[in-house]
Structure 1
């Protein structure tokens, strides 16, 4: 079990060497030489494209690209999107995406929104033998044949290669392409692209999906000088029959045609919004101005709409968690919509009264409210606040201040309704969906709500949001990042991972400390001189329970590589045993064909765990040493599954034979080579163990413990 620690040490040492002042210039120069050599040998630099960008030779373009141009929009092949490729591979932003693509197995790497590289690799296995993978194979074939099929998985269009060449020139000149929007359409979708668009591929995917229905025009308006961004958008013009690509113009919305019963949907520059939420806006926008609930970069509310206070517009519920707005239902009517992504009927203004769709969410930077005077009397905000248990009271200078609405007197023995804030280490938005902490917090929040509590969840960046003073109980789910206690609330700390990074000083300010390890809680109570109670991890029994699915022969692992050679994955694959891996960042550790997908939707995990022959699991070395049992084992066994895991104190006592453990690599391989029926109990015994886990280790059981302790401390 020394391998992960040695690998981690080696990687840290290499990073320190790379970062040293002495080595940095030399290492960077050698990196650039190697990147250029690999890309040049792959022979995928498009002459027409580099000339359009002003480079005289492929060598000059390649030199500019590896010297930092890959970060500033220099592009070498029209069928590749730099940031899209980089987002799927390790070393994002440090190495050029084309280089990373060429040194990895490309069969599951998506390279553009304008053609399906993954589908091409599946349909043309010979593409994997091309020196530049499916990208080079498709590009060379298109140039040779003079045509290429562009589009989405839903629909493609065969276009002349000369049209692609024209798109390259137009992109370099930032030249508009396509017709103006028509007055005969039912819907116009406007996609604004910012100077530093964080995820252009995600934005284009969303608007292309929203514009897929008949009688819809798409306008892509760029506020960017990067040729790569212009090219990706202009290639949409090459295959999409009703698209306009142009420079972003503040007068664009006002210049759109008036269409009977038509609607315009505007996706703001740099805004993160799903295609489903854009569809919801498009549908609701036919009835008047609508906007989604606007969250800022931290995940807190930027605005739930504009309300009037003191003759000025102000952002409703700014600085509150999303749950405070969503408690009001599907939508609320507001004096004026606020989010930079919105919809409204064609020919009307978005600046009048409208609605905020609370189920639709956009993440975008905060903006100041309009500075002009607001007509009419001050808005009564109590109807917006009441569903979340809040009320507006007079504050300093006459400005309203939001406070908790005290519940009516409860009868003796009734449980008080407290407001809980669950603080987690996960980031907000889409990145946080890949963190187990996010889903763990949601399961616990639902359980607390079933006990009559109000609960909000704060991503790490929102842990100190302005409205935190309203919270009665703060529960810090301690993972890889520190979270502070809160002086004006009951503060509970639940250590669920990374115990080696927690100090006695950090824990001292909390009113109570729990730990997901019996041995660590016992030892730490002695060493810190304060009580640390055991509270093991758990499972959401409403999701993880048997469904009667047949067991397959698939042996699976779900998770990231963590930057180490995880033994439960690497060693079986090295030994030639079958394993299906679901997770990112496995490049360089295992062959690409063993990676089934970069992720699994959280909703699909129960079925995967129940039906798998075996679910593989291992722990961070520090968690294993300290006796912290992964919550994956609780989920697997609760779902009716079977697991193999490294040995951690307490696994046998909790899970019985449903989890087989190993101490050495030889023991791991021996377990995997035996028939599973010889390793695990009979189905009846597995069912009994699973039922015990669901009864004793559910989120409902943990929520009851936490609530009782919070009430004691109050």
Structure 2
């Protein structure tokens, strides 16, 4: 694959020397966000903003480049951090290039990973598989949350017993289908659901990111699911981290790390009957429900914030030869 060639501010050895000496204010990081220009309602854009803030705490100069601006010659970055979406980025020879694959592993070929100095993968399982195949540095780096955005703030005006937030993307998502087979109503926020469910269950098309924490904080049960390839390769979704940071109680489709990563404080289900039983049980056992939510919150705030992830990225960068 032909790579782009463009001079950055420093050569790679100079960049590495600045990193080792923690002269972060001399370095510029470009976060390549997969969202199209101006699409600031995408989760990828909020992810980029949170990542930018955590790097800036360390002293870096950080710019977010949306998809159409990835190759803007006016931006002279020393380090490119690509959030891999549905479009491939062609890295530059003269800069340090990092990929963070946070979703949809089936979209990336082995050869693409090998164009990067380090590839971070939001799945320990898939990172281990790639380590045996790709000729580059592969490191697991799970998704995470921003505690300044996702925190506990209950609001009775948006309180629901059972809540699901997410668009359909043209698919009747299994967890919603299974939940509606139970004896409970589900309050749904997201676009495209009119095609699949009774409109009375649709509470809204969109929740502002700045308000989402109130909805997570105020529901009794938050439902979570994963796209099939993410479930198969054990990519825990960002909603798990965000929801627990708000002190939400979560029932999710079955993904191994959902149970192990959060030490049993995420409840998973097998099928519609199992979901019915677990909804009934946890609605009737408020103390246990709240205990799991609070335990999960402590785990996330200690181990799974953007600040945690930036520390890991910097440790890996300092070990580059």
Task: State the TM-score bracket (shorter-chain normalisation).
Answer: 0.7 to 0.9
Q: What residue is the counterpart of 1:515 in the other structure?
A: 121
Write the deviation string for residues 48-88 of structure 1: whole angstroms up to 9, x where unpaired.
xxxxxxxxxxxxxxxxxxxxxxxxxxxxxxxxxxxxxxxxx
| Structure with larger RCO (C-alpha < 8 A, sep 6+) | 2
Kindly state the Cα deviation for residue 573 of structure 1 after the two structures are TM-superposed: 2.4
Contact 1:517 1:629 in 2 (8 A): yes
Q: What residue is the counterpart of 1:694 in the other structure?
A: 301
Distance in 1 (CA, whole Å) between partners of 2:247 and 2:155 is 9
Write the deviation string for residues 665-704 of structure 1: whole angstroms up to 9, x where unpaired.
3322332233425488353453233122111000001111
- TM-score of the superposed pair, with normalisation by structure 2: 0.87
Bigger CA radius of gyration: 1
Write the deviation string for residues 481-505 of structure 1: whole angstroms up to 9, x where unpaired.
2222222210001110010111111
Write the deviation string for residues 584-605 of structure 1: whole angstroms up to 9, x where unpaired.
1112111111111110000011
Distance in 2 (CA, whole Å) between partners of 1:696 and 1:638 is 11
Q: What residue is the counterpart of 1:446 in the other structure?
A: 53
For the residue of structure 1 that corresponds to 2:97, the secondary structure is: strand
1:415 aligns with 2:23: yes
Contact 2:249 2:292 in 1 (8 A): no
The verdict on how the C-alpha distance between 1:529 and 1:597 changes in structure 2, with shifts beyond 3 A counting, is same
For the residue of structure 1 that corresponds to 2:83, the secondary structure is: strand
Contact 2:266 2:296 in 1 (8 A): no
Q: Pairwise mapping of residues 454-469 of structure 1 onto structure 2 (< 5 A)?
A: 454-468=61-75
Distance in 2 (CA, whole Å) between partners of 1:487 and 1:403 is 13
Distance in 2 (CA, whole Å) between partners of 1:553 and 1:459 is 35
Write the deviation string for residues 286-344 of structure 1: whole angstroms up to 9, x where unpaired.
xxxxxxxxxxxxxxxxxxxxxxxxxxxxxxxxxxxxxxxxxxxxxxxxxxxxxxxxxxx
Kindly state the Cα deviation for residue 478 of structure 1 after the two structures are TM-superposed: 1.0
For the residue of structure 1 that corresponds to 2:147, the secondary structure is: coil
The verdict on how the C-alpha distance between 1:664 and 1:529 changes in structure 2, with shifts beyond 3 A counting, is farther
1:708 aligns with 2:315: yes
Q: What residue is the counterpart of 2:144 in the other structure?
A: 538
Q: Pairwise mapping of residues 13-92 of structure 1 onto structure 2 (< 5 A)?
A: none
Q: Which runs of 5+ in 1 are unaligned?
A: 1-401
Q: What residue is the counterpart of 1:644 in the other structure?
A: 251
Contact 2:9 2:77 in 1 (8 A): no
Contact 1:660 1:679 in 2 (8 A): no
The verdict on how the C-alpha distance between 1:679 and 1:547 changes in structure 2, with shifts beyond 3 A counting, is closer
Contact 1:567 1:665 in 2 (8 A): no
Write the deviation string for residues 127-153 of structure 1: whole angstroms up to 9, x where unpaired.
xxxxxxxxxxxxxxxxxxxxxxxxxxx
1:427 aligns with 2:36: yes
Contact 1:556 1:615 in 2 (8 A): yes
Q: What residue is the counterpart of 1:524 in the other structure?
A: 130
Distance in 2 (CA, whole Å) between partners of 1:598 and 1:617 is 17
Distance in 2 (CA, whole Å) between partners of 1:602 and 1:526 is 38
- Count of aligned pairs between the two proteins: 307
For the residue of structure 2 that corresponds to 1:644, the secondary structure is: strand
Kindly state the Cα deviation for residue 574 of structure 1 after the two structures are TM-superposed: 4.4
- Candidates 203, 217, 237, aligned match of 1:610: 217
Contact 1:645 1:662 in 2 (8 A): yes
Kindly state the Cα deviation for residue 553 of structure 1 after the two structures are TM-superposed: 4.2
Distance in 2 (CA, whole Å) between partners of 1:620 and 1:682 is 26
Kindly state the Cα deviation for residue 615 of structure 1 after the two structures are TM-superposed: 1.1
Kindly state the Cα deviation for residue 526 of structure 1 after the two structures are TM-superposed: 1.0
Contact 2:167 2:192 in 1 (8 A): yes
Q: What residue is the counterpart of 1:503 in the other structure?
A: 109
1:673 aligns with 2:280: yes
- TM-score of the superposed pair, with normalisation by structure 1: 0.41
Which stretch of the first structure deviates more once superposed, 450-459 or 569-578?
569-578
Distance in 2 (CA, whole Å) between partners of 1:466 and 1:413 is 28
For the residue of structure 1 that corresponds to 2:180, the secondary structure is: helix
- Let me know the Cα RMSD of the aligned residues: 2.6
Contact 2:178 2:271 in 1 (8 A): no
The verdict on how the C-alpha distance between 1:520 and 1:548 changes in structure 2, with shifts beyond 3 A counting, is same
- Candidates 265, 271, 281, aligned match of 1:658: 265
The verdict on how the C-alpha distance between 1:585 and 1:549 changes in structure 2, with shifts beyond 3 A counting, is closer
Q: What residue is the counterpart of 1:557 in the other structure?
A: 164
Q: What residue is the counterpart of 1:326 in the other structure?
A: none
Write the deviation string for residues 205-250 of structure 1: whole angstroms up to 9, x where unpaired.
xxxxxxxxxxxxxxxxxxxxxxxxxxxxxxxxxxxxxxxxxxxxxx
For the residue of structure 2 that corresponds to 1:528, the secondary structure is: coil
Kindly state the Cα deviation for residue 657 of structure 1 after the two structures are TM-superposed: 3.9
Distance in 2 (CA, whole Å) between partners of 1:617 and 1:459 is 28
